[in-house]
Structure 1
Amino acid sequence: MNITAPQIVLGTMDFGTRVGADQAFAILDSFVAGGGVWLDTANCYSFWADPSGVGGASEDVIGSWLRARPGVRDAVRIATKVRQNPLVAHSWPQSAEGLSARAVHVGVEKSLRRLGVEHVDMLWAHAEDRTVPLEETVGAFGELVARGTAVRIGAANHAAWRVERARSLAREQRVQPWTALQLRHSLVQPRPLTPLAEAGHRMLTADDVDLARSEGLAVWSYSSLMWGSYVRADKPLPQPYDHPGTTRVLTVLDDVATELAATRNQIVLAWLMRQGIDPIVGASRVEQIEEALAARRVRLSDEHLARFARAR
C-alpha cells in the first residue's frame, strides 16, 4: 500500500452548500495551520444540496480561498474528481458526465477554472463508466498527466479488477497509470453482501487491499467517521451496521479511547492510518478538523489492533 506516511485529508464536499464560504475559509485556514496538506473535492460537489442542481460549489469556494490567501497554493495539494456532475440540472444519474475522453477533458478544464489553478495534484475517476472503453479513459487520464494538468491520477469506487486492467492498458499505451484508490472504509463494517443506501458507494475489499499492497498504491478512505455516528447519539449508524460485530467493536473502541485519553473519532482515524490508509474527514466546524488532526499523535499498539481484529 501507500509507501508514504498516511495523512488526514480534508473533505470539502459540503463547502458552498451546507457549509458557507466564511466557515469553510476558517476550516481551511485551521487545517493548513495544523499542518494539513491534502484537500479532497469533486466537480459534482454538491449538486444534490445546491439549488442550481449541478455541482461546482465546493471547487468555487476553494478557488476563492486560494485567491484570498496569496501563497497558500504552495502549502496544499488539491484532489478533485470527474464523472458524476450532472450535465442537465436536477437530472442525475441520467445526465451524469461519463469517462469519455471528451468528458474527462471538459470536466477538468471547468474544475481548473473554478479552482483558479493550472493543475491539480490528484485527479480521480469518481466512479466507473462501463459505457466507455476503458482504453479511452486510460488514455485521457494519461494525456492529462503528460500535459502537467494532473500530477497524479487515481480511481474512486472502482472494482479492483478494473483498476488492474486499467493499469495494464496504461502500460500498453505508455502513459501514467492510476496509482491511488479511493473507497469507503471505516472501523465498523456493514453486514456482508448488504446493499448500501448511498448510491455509488463502493466498500474497500480484500481484493483492493491486495492490489494496493502488491502495486504500491495509495488508499484513501471516505465516510471514515460515518457522518458523526461514532460520537453523536442523534446520528445512529445505518441499519446495515446493526449486528453483533459492531457492538463488540464499539466496546473495544470505548476501552481504547479511555486508555489513550483520546476521542472515539481520533481512535478510528489512528486505526485507519495504521493500515496505511489516508482518511478523508469532512468538517463543518473548526474544532472538528482540529480534533481530527490531533489523531496523528495517537499511537495504537499491535495489541490494540489485535483487539479490534478479534472484535470484528
Structure 2
Amino acid sequence: MKYRKIGTDPQHRREVSALALGAMLFGTVVEEERAFAVLDRFVEAGGTFLDTANNYAFWVNGTQGGESEALLGRWRRSRGITDEVVIATKLGGRPKAPGRDFFNPEGLAPDVIRASSARSRANLGVERLDLLYAHADFMDVPQKDVVEAFASLVADGSVGMIGASNHWSWRLESWRALADAAGLPGYEVVQYHHTYLRARGDVPGRRSKDGDQGLFSAELMTYLRSRPNLTLVAYTPLLSGAYVREDRPLGELHDHAGTRARLRALHEVVRETGATANQVVLSWMIGGDLPVIPLVGASSVAQLDESLEAVDLELTADQRALLDAAH
C-alpha cells in the first residue's frame, strides 16, 4: 500500500492509504457478512481510509439513511479498530423524512450540522469524526453560518478535519476566504466525481439546471493546482463498472468524441501492461502530477483485490503521456 498525508494542522493531520474504500451500500445492498469481509481485506492490505455519509443508503429501503455508518460502527467495535483507520462521513444530504426523495435534504443550517454530526458520531461509535464533509452546497443558508458551524465542531474537538464535496469552485474559494478572514479552520479535503474519461459540461446536474457541481473539471483542476495543500478524493472513478463491463453503458455524460480517443489510449496501455482497464485508470489517478485519492466501492473481496493491485501498478512516462494526450 502507498500512503499520503491529508490535512495541514499538525494536531489533526493524518496519513491515509492512497486508495479509499467507499461504504455507501454496506448495510443495505451489501449485507453485513460480505461488508465485514471486504473491510477486513482492505485493512489487511494496508487500507486506512474509509468513506461514508449520513444518508447512505436511504434510497434502497426508503429510510433516512445511516445504515452504512451504523455498520461501520459495528465493524469497528467487533474488530477493535481505533485510530489506525480514518473514517470520513458527510452531512447535508439526509432526507428530512423516510423515503426515496432526493429533493428533500436536511441541508446545512447550523442546527442541522450540530445534530447530524452528533448522530454520525453515535452511529460510528466515535468521540470525534476524523473527516466531516459538507455533502453538497446549499445556498439557502448564509455561507458564513456554514463556515462557523463546521469550525465550531473542530474547536470543540468533535471533528478533526473539514471537507467540502460537490461545490462549485467559486463557492470553495468563498468558503476559504470567509474562514481565513475570521481565523477559522476551513476545508482541507474536497470530493468530486473524477475519472480518466472527461465528462461533458453541458449535461444538467442532479442538483442544478446549470450543470452538476459534483463533476471534476479543468477549471477545478486549476483551482486545486493553486492550492497544493488540498487533497482531492475522487468518487465513482471506475464508472460503476463501465470500463470493463459491456452491460454498463457510459451514458450521456461521456457521449462525445473525446471519449473514443481516450478509450483507445486506455486500451493500448491495458495491452502493454496486462492490467485491467480499471487498474490502469486507478494507477493513472494515484500517480498523476495532481495526486488523487480514488474512492472505490466493492461488494466482494475479489472486486476489492482488483483495485488494491492497481496501487502497485507503475505506468511508464510514455504510457502516462499517451493517456494524458488523448482528447
- TM-score range (shorter-chain normalised) is over 0.9
**Which residue of structure 2 lines up, in the alignment, with residue 296 of structure 1?**
311
Give aligned-pair identity as a percent.
38
How many Å apart are 1:256 and its aligned residue? 0.7
Contact kept? 1:10, 1:40, Cα under 8 Å: yes
Distance 2:247 2:102 in 1: 30
Contact 2:191 2:233 survives alignment (8 Å): yes
Which of these residues, 256, 263, 267, is aligned with residue 250 of structure 1?
Answer: 263
- TM-aligned CA deviation for residue 121 of structure 1: 1.2
Please list the CA deviations of residues 232-287 of structure 1 after superposition, one character each: whole Å capped at 9, or x if unmatched.
Answer: 11111113313322122122212112212211111000111123011100000111
Q: Is 1:213 aligned to 2:228, yes or no?
A: no
Q: CA contact under 8 A between 2:17 and 2:47: conserved in structure 1?
A: no
CA contact (8 A) 2:60 2:100 kept: no
Paired residue total: 309
Q: 1:40 aligns with which of 51, 67, 74?
A: 51
Q: Does 1:236 align with 2:245?
A: no
State how far apart, in whole Å, the 2-side matches of 1:192 and 1:86 are. 27
Report deviation, 1:166: 0.6
Quote the residue 1:65 is aligned against: 75
Q: Which residue of 2 aligns with 1:226?
A: 239
TM-score (norm 2): 0.90
Other-structure match for 1:305:
320
Change (3 A) 1:25 1:3: closer
User: What is the correspondence of 1:68-217 to structure 2 with a 5 Å cutoff?
Assistant: 68-70=78-80, 72-90=81-99, 92-196=101-205, 202-215=214-227, 216-217=229-230
**Distance (whole Å) between structure 1 residues aligned to residue 201 and residue 107 of structure 2:** 29
Higher alpha-carbon deviation: 152-161 or 194-203: 194-203
Whether contact under 8 Å (1:184, 1:201) holds in the other structure is no
Task: Report the AA paired with residue 144 of structure 1.
Answer: L
Name the CA distance, whole Å, in 1 between partners of 2:17 and 2:205. Answer: 27
CA contact (8 A) 2:161 2:187 kept: yes
| Structure 2 contact 21–295 (Cα < 8 Å) conserved | yes
Match of 2:65 among 52, 55, 58: 55
Q: Shift of the alpha carbon at 1:189?
A: 1.9
20, 24, 29: which is aligned to 1:9?
20
Where 2:122 maps in the other structure, the secondary structure is helix
Output one character per residue of 1:178-227: Cα deviation in whole Å (capped at 9) or x when no partner: 11111111111233422356886621122322222222210011110000
Q: 2:30 corresponds to which letter in structure 1?
A: V
What are the ranges of 5 or more consecutive residues in structure 1 without an aligned counterpart?
A: none
User: Shift of residue 175 of structure 1?
Assistant: 1.3
SS of the residue corresponding to residue 196 of structure 2 reads coil
Gaps of 5+ in 2: 7-15
Q: CA RMSD in A?
A: 1.8
Equivalent residue of 1:73, what SS? coil
Please identify runs of 4+ aligned residues in structure 1 that moved more than 4 A. 2-6, 196-201
